[in-house]
């Protein structure tokens, strides 16, 4: 920020006597615009340590004359999705989707009326739902995400994204993407970065909205997955989604997933929970200049406030590590002018 | 091709009377250039059914006024690597690499002197090497490709690519990429396509040269893989390559790999062997206009001629399917002006 200001002051001084001449003013405006752009690209960020860290890092790695210059082909930035790019409370959007699917499919599964965890979903039994285990979640995913082609699955997700509403904000989930992060994605891309999503959520779930919501193409989404089977049906080749876990892109899996899909160590990584620690450690251990940040949910009024006290996007060990390793915590409360595009 | 010619004739007719005037000639040249470009982009292709099919397909899907227009975000083209983009005879480059690694690592493995398939490699026992099974190959890969980080593995591959020479052509393997296919990759990209490699070979092996040889970034390479494990060593996060198969990107695996990495059905696919059939079938079954081609190795003089009579890049069932499905066979002998950049 101060860097930008000093450049502006110098420019204004240089052009001072020209300012008296009308037509030259246009030239001046044209010259200054690109310098201001870097800063203006993040209008939803308050001046503060996070915004400074981002801008200074981008200047560092894009400065061809500097010793920490990183060529564009290695400017890889990875973003967790739930809680980092969009709301993940009171529960993950994909879980809301899966529960909706359980209700829709229930007529074909009379046995669910007496079988957990399906019974709890159908009866909206909050006490039981609050205690779902990993195994319960896997069972819900298997029952609702498999047995169709990837194209059919995506059409169902698209339909749900159009019709479902968040329980607190009463808007579509895609309206609950964080505006400061959208600006950050665009700012990084404008500076030659390739942006990737590295989500614990389902890769095909996230792909259904990544291009439209984040400007990220489908092949730049990394996520958890179930297996697929190739088959010919009436001479047409298609894939069928199987009720079998293929890969869990969470914790250490995030570093593995990054290597499998991207094949390069990121130089910038953004998360919000303990499940992102290994992704940040992997980024932190590279030879190039690197940046690691954690979105800190500390704004109960405009969004949510949580840390060690939740199972959804728990950030606990990560807070300590951030201090130790010099990772930047982004205070949603203090550093974000607005959280959603619809905020003033 | 005839389309291009008819456009040229029309343009020449339109500008005929202007041609008498000197300065206007420059304007004419400027106007015609873009039309010719599509054709000139493939100088290593003889006029023939394959070149026509490529150009007509690209014109079809990029013509905004046409009914078969495909928006750029769905213009996905996938390419097999061995035998499609570079030489795969007399054996796969990656096998040559693995055998070289066996020789380099032999001092640390005295047991290999008496243990097959390692014994055959160390003794250059061609009779036994000609009969290697899939299981033998897997054992060779496990013994030579694991136990290090992806970065260390890539450095070894890079070193090998610099020093190894092809047994017949006596040049680096990267000099044995097919010049007509390089032009095709560039032509497709110039027309808004995203180009991907979908190889039965190792994803990290192919990534070591994909950017430099093909202009394809690492995250647009799909291939077979072994597992990786995340670990912290002296506080540094790294991955270790494990001697355990993760995914075989061959046959039906190619359609599965495409879905996992790209998340879209290709509209153009290029292969050369029966292992590419399912990739072509998957492409062939899409709703958009699509193109499927097989490089046919029928030029023993300039490269190799093989079909049903080889285990390396066998094309047998695929020939029949190509006729049935209307897939274009590319005759290397008749349709390629040159095979390698060093050919006249």
Would you write out chain A's pLDDT as a tens digit for each of its 344 residues? 344 434 433 333 333 333 333 343 333 333 443 434 555 899 999 999 999 999 999 999 999 999 999 999 999 999 999 999 999 999 899 999 999 999 999 999 999 999 999 999 999 998 998 888 878 888 898 899 999 999 999 999 999 999 999 999 999 999 999 999 999 999 999 999 999 999 999 999 999 999 999 999 999 999 999 999 999 999 999 999 999 999 999 999 999 999 999 999 999 999 999 999 999 999 999 999 999 999 999 999 999 999 999 888 999 999 999 999 999 999 999 999 999 999 98
Give B 14-33 residues with CB within 8 A of chain A: none
Predicted TM-score (pTM) of the model is 0.88
Residue from A77, A244, A263 whose CB has the most chain B CBs within 10 Å, to mutate: A263
**Residue B78 near residue B266, CB atoms below 8 Å:** yes
Is A158's Cβ below 8 Å from some Cβ in B? no
Cα radius of gyration rounded to whole Å, chain A: 23
**Residue B310 near residue B88, CB atoms below 8 Å:** no
For residue B252, give the nearest of B272, B271, B279 by alpha carbon.
Answer: B279
Q: How many CB pairs under 8 A join A and B?
A: 98
**Angstroms from A217 CA to nearest CA on chain B:** 8
Facing residue for A239 by CB, picked from B221, B246, B259: B259
Give the model's pLDDT for residue A40.
Answer: 85
Query: CA–CA separation, B96 vs B129, rounded Å?
Result: 12
Is B217's Cβ below 8 Å from some Cβ in A? yes
Give the model's pLDDT for residue A24.
Answer: 38
Q: Which long-range contacts (CB under 8 A, 24 or more apart) does B73-76 make?
A: B73/A211, B73/A217, B74/B264, B74/B267, B74/B288, B75/B188, B75/B191, B75/B192, B75/B193, B75/B194, B75/B267, B75/B268, B76/B193, B76/B194, B76/B196, B76/B262, B76/B264, B76/B265, B76/B266, B76/B267, B76/B268
Contact across the interface for B73 and A204, Cβ inside 8 Å: no
Query: CA–CA separation, A2 vs B12, rounded Å?
Result: 60
**Angle at which helices A179-190 and A49-62 cross, to 10°:** 20
Is B238's Cβ below 8 Å from some Cβ in A? yes
Low-confidence ranges of chain B (pLDDT < 70): 1-39
Residue from B202, B257, B259, B284 whose CB has the most chain A CBs within 10 Å, to mutate: B259
**Residue A103 near residue A113, CB atoms below 8 Å:** no
Residue with tokens 């047998």: B316
Q: Is the dihedral of CA B335, B340, B341, B343 positive or negative?
A: negative
**Residue B116 near residue B128, CB atoms below 8 Å:** yes
Give the model's pLDDT for residue A17.
Answer: 39
Nearest CA in chain A to B202: A260
Is B110's Cβ below 8 Å from some Cβ in A? no
Give the model's pLDDT for residue B344.
Answer: 82
Indicate the DSSP class of residue B171.
Answer: S
Query: CA–CA separation, A302 vs A146, rounded Å?
Result: 36
Query: CA–CA separation, A43 vs B167, rounded Å?
Result: 60
Query: CA–CA separation, A297 vs A273, rounded Å?
Result: 10
Residue from A251, A259, A278 whose CB has the most chain B CBs within 10 Å, to mutate: A259
Contact list in B for residue A228 (CB cut-off 8 A) is 256, 259-260
ipTM: 0.88
């Amino acid at each position: 920020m101060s860097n930008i200001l000093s450049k502006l002051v110098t420019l204004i001084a240089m052009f001072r006597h020209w300012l008296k001449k009308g037509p030259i003013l246009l030239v001046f405006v044209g010259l200054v615009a690109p310098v201001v752009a870097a800063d203006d690209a993040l209008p939803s960020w308050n001046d503060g340590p996070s915004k400074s860290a981002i801008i200074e890092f981008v200047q560092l790695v894009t400065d061809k004359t500097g010793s920490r210059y990183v060529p564009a082909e290695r400017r890889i930035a990875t973003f967790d999705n739930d809680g980092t790019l969009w709301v993940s409370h009171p529960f993950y959007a994909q879980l809301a989707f899966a529960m909706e699917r359980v209700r829709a499919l229930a007529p074909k599964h009379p046995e669910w009326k007496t079988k957990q965890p399906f019974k709890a979903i159908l009866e909206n039994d909050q006490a039981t739902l609050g205690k779902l285990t990993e195994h319960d979640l896997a069972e819900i995913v298997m029952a609702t995400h498999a047995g169709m082609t990837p194209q059919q699955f995506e059409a169902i997700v698209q339909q749900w994204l159009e019709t479902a509403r968040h329980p607190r904000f009463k808007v579509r989930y895609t309206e609950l993407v964080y505006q400061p992060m959208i600006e950050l994605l665009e700012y990084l891309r404008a500076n030659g970065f390739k942006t990737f999503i590295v989500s614990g959520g389902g890769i095909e779930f996230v792909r259904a909205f990544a291009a439209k919501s984040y400007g990220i193409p489908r092949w730049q989404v990394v996520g958890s997955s179930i297996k697929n089977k190739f088959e010919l049906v009436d001479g047409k080749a298609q894939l069928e989604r199987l009720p079998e876990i293929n890969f869990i892109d969470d914790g250490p899996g995030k570093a593995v997933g990054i290597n499998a899909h991207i094949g390069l160590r990121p130089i910038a990584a953004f998360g919000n929970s303990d499940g992102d620690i290994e992704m940040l450690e992997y980024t932190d251990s590279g030879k190039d200049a690197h940046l690691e940040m954690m979105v800190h949910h500390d704004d109960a009024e405009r969004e949510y406030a949580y840390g060690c006290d939740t199972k959804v996007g728990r950030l606990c060990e990560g807070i300590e590590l951030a201090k130790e390793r010099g990772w930047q915590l982004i205070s949603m409360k203090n550093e974000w002018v607005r959280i959603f595009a619809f905020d003033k």
